Amino acid sequence: GGLTAEDGSTTVLRARHAVAVATGSTATIPDIPGLREARPWTSREATGAKSVPGSLAVIGGGVVAAEMATVYAAFGSEVTVIARGGLLEGFEDFAGERVDESLRSRGVTIMTGTETRRVERTGDGVRLETTGGEVRAAEVLAATGRSPATADLGLEHVGLEAGSPLETDDTLRVEGFDWLYAV
């Protein structure tokens, strides 16, 4: 094993004391039929866009969904948030309620308790089939969480599952190892 460069050459590294995994995370694209093929925005595209779409459908009800709905509504985009549950469910109830009120006051359409069943890229944007009806927008943002970037590190060689989170103790040491740490 070892590190493989773009040209195919490999380099073996040996740690003297410990190994720290600090690979970050990637945006999660849920398994909604047609969503991947529709080329959805993630937080990366939403924060790096060079122009404002006339309308934006946001799938998700968490922090990124609320932030991007706020931003794009302020930019003049017609925003629809489609959340499987409520808004900001991991927080105190009042937080989600206040954000819901604030977004609605800015003209954002909020669809809570709504599943997205299918997404299709059309000639003029995207069409989403939801349990609350059809939503059409110029762009769709998948704001449904993040996954650890641990898929291609070789974790399976030390008995860990590739692509899974690394559970740590209070010192950030991976449970069951005296030499492996994760951030």
Residue 69 DSSP SS3: helix
What pLDDT score was predicted for residue 80?
98
> Whole-prediction pTM value?
0.78
What pLDDT score was predicted for residue 161?
86
What pLDDT score was predicted for residue 172?
93
What pLDDT score was predicted for residue 152?
79
Question: CB within 8 A of 16, min separation 6: which ones?
Answer: none
- How many angstroms separate the CA atoms of 63 and 91, rounded? 10
Torsion, CA 85, CA 73, CA 145, CA 22, rounded to 10: -160
Q: Compute the C-alpha angle 65/69/73, nearest 5°.
A: 175
Residue type present at position 143: A
- How many angstroms separate the CA atoms of 56 and 58, rounded? 6
> 121-139 b/e with 16+ CB inside 10 Å = b?
beeebbbbbbebeebebbb
Compute mean pLDDT per 10 residues along the chain, 183 residues long, and list them: 81 86 84 95 93 97 96 97 94 94 97 97 96 98 85 84 87 91 89
- How many angstroms separate the CA atoms of 177 and 71, rounded? 43
Residue type present at position 150: T
- Check: CB of residue 99 under 8 Å from CB of residue 88: yes
What pLDDT score was predicted for residue 1?
58
What pLDDT score was predicted for residue 5?
85
Indicate the pairing of strand 3-4 with strand 10-11.
antiparallel
